[in-house]
Amino acid sequence: MKITVLLVSAAFFAVICVPARADGTLRLSALLKEAREKNPGLSAVKYKYRAALERVPQAGALPAPMLMAGVQNLPVNSFEFDEDMMTSKMIGISQTFPFFGKRALREKAASEEARAVKGDYGEDALTLARDVKTVYFSLYRIKKDLDVLKKTGVLLESLKKIAQSRYSVGMGSMNDIIKTQLEQSLLIDRRLALRKEDRTERARLGALLGRNGPVEGTVEDIKPEPLALDSKNLAGAAIANRPEIMAASERIKKGETMMALAKKASLPDFTVTAQYMERDRQNDGVRPSDMVSAVVSINLPIWRKSKIEPGIREAALLKSAAEEERDAEESEIRARVESLVEQVNKDDRIIKLYRKVIIPEANDGINAGLAGYEVGKVQYIDLLDSIRTLLSYQTEYYNRIADRETKMADLEAADGRQPASEIVNK
């Protein structure tokens, strides 16, 4: 019996050291790739970026020319084309040319907006990756919690057998058996709750991947990677790499371009018109020659106080708003990165303490307690409390790992880096 107890206890502790591997493994890298390719929300932003690129040549194009056709100087008393030599049939075309530099500025502003939308796409891609990782690590936590409950169930079954053996020889109490059975029923309730949460998270992951149903398969085990940089360096990298900052910078450039364009609103545009007029043979037999005409006209941007100056102020205010948004984003990134780095470092210390000190000591206590309970030197309630405590430590250990990796996902999204966590195939 003692050998059986020791083997069960050793197997219970081994769950933190020997990760399970099953067919149908869910690999995080493959899930991230699928999400980038098939997530509907990200695809929508991608199409917006492509649409923004299509607006660039449109912004720099000339306005559509105008085609004219009609008659001129037609007598109203007869509506005849051969009574007056000034009567003619006319066809013409006109083209407006914006003042020099306006088209280039419009095209530049559209190009800057397209690059800003590209930054929006990159930011949404980072957010999507973070969300996929968050669900993945939640599934990891649930899997490990179920493993711990399974090992605890095996341990409680062994404890019940010892209690029954002791009761059969008059050394134990029926209450010990009943309490063990009650503890087993509580494990069943927790297992059912975890499986329900598992179904919810799988459905959530399926939605992120653009699937119509939940994701099936087993998540891989995780080996946390240490932080390579401190918060100051990570914040600097974030400001340099974050698509959100790139988008804000492009919108500041667009604001500068729109200011320059607004100032050119006081300069006139030119319209060139060419007409050809055909005249019929007159009733006296004379055939007058056809005529052509050409006209250059300009608009008169005279409404400076009510239109031009407000337009300049509007562009300046939009530029200032973009600058403030960029500064706010940079401040938020610095604060977020600093907070996450501190939390990850704290989690690393706690995870190490659980793995090297707390769980081994709790496991040794249970080994000694099982042996002592079998010979009547340890009280049942003390041993049951030790098992509960080990269960709590094991659960907290894996929860802390999952939470730490979730924070790392937040950190990777915050600084725009590639994933730092290593998914280990074993």
Beta-carbon contacts of residue 127 (< 8 Å; ≥ 6 apart): 413
Q: DSSP assignment, residue 169? A: T
Q: Please tell me whether residue 73 adopts helix, strand or coil conformation.
A: coil
Burial class of residue 256 in the structure, from the number of CB atoms within 10 Å of its CB (0-12 exposed, 13-18 middle, 19+ buried): middle
Contact (CB, 8 A) for 139 and 218: no
CA gap 168, 220 in Å, rounded: 45
Q: Of 3, 420, 10, nearest to 229 (Cα)?
A: 420
CA gap 216, 203 in Å, rounded: 9
The whole-number pLDDT of residue 419 equals 42
In the chain, where are the structural domains located?
Answer: 2-424
Contact (CB, 8 A) for 226 and 411: no
Q: DSSP assignment, residue 304? A: I
The whole-number pLDDT of residue 169 equals 67
The whole-number pLDDT of residue 417 equals 60
Contact (CB, 8 A) for 201 and 187: no
CA gap 248, 287 in Å, rounded: 68
Which residue type does 293 have?
S
The reported pTM is 0.80
Beta bridge partners, 219, equal: 26
> Hey, how many other C-beta atoms are within 10 angstroms of the C-beta on 142?
23
CA gap 49, 45 in Å, rounded: 6
The whole-number pLDDT of residue 232 equals 74
Q: DSSP assignment, residue 67? A: E
Contact (CB, 8 A) for 395 and 148: yes
Contact (CB, 8 A) for 303 and 339: no
The whole-number pLDDT of residue 414 equals 83
CATH number of 2-424: 1.20.1600.10
Q: Quote the Cα angle for 15-21-26, to 5°.
A: 120
Per-residue pLDDT of the chain in tens (426 residues, 90 and over written 9):
444 444 444 444 444 443 333 448 899 999 999 999 999 999 999 999 999 999 999 999 999 999 999 998 888 888 888 878 888 889 999 999 999 999 999 999 999 999 999 999 999 999 999 999 999 999 999 999 999 999 888 888 877 787 777 777 677 678 778 887 888 888 899 999 999 999 999 999 999 999 999 999 999 988 888 777 677 778 887 888 889 999 999 999 999 999 999 999 999 999 999 999 988 888 877 888 889 999 999 999 988 899 999 999 999 999 999 999 999 999 988 888 888 889 999 999 999 999 999 999 888 888 887 777 777 777 778 888 888 888 999 999 999 999 999 999 988 888 776 443 333 333
Q: Of 195, 197, 199, 176, nearest to 187 (Cα)?
A: 195
**Radius of gyration of the chain, Cα coordinates, nearest whole angstrom:** 38
Q: First vs last Cα of the chain: how many Å apart?
A: 33
Structure tokens at 71: 């008659």
The whole-number pLDDT of residue 4 equals 43
The whole-number pLDDT of residue 2 equals 45
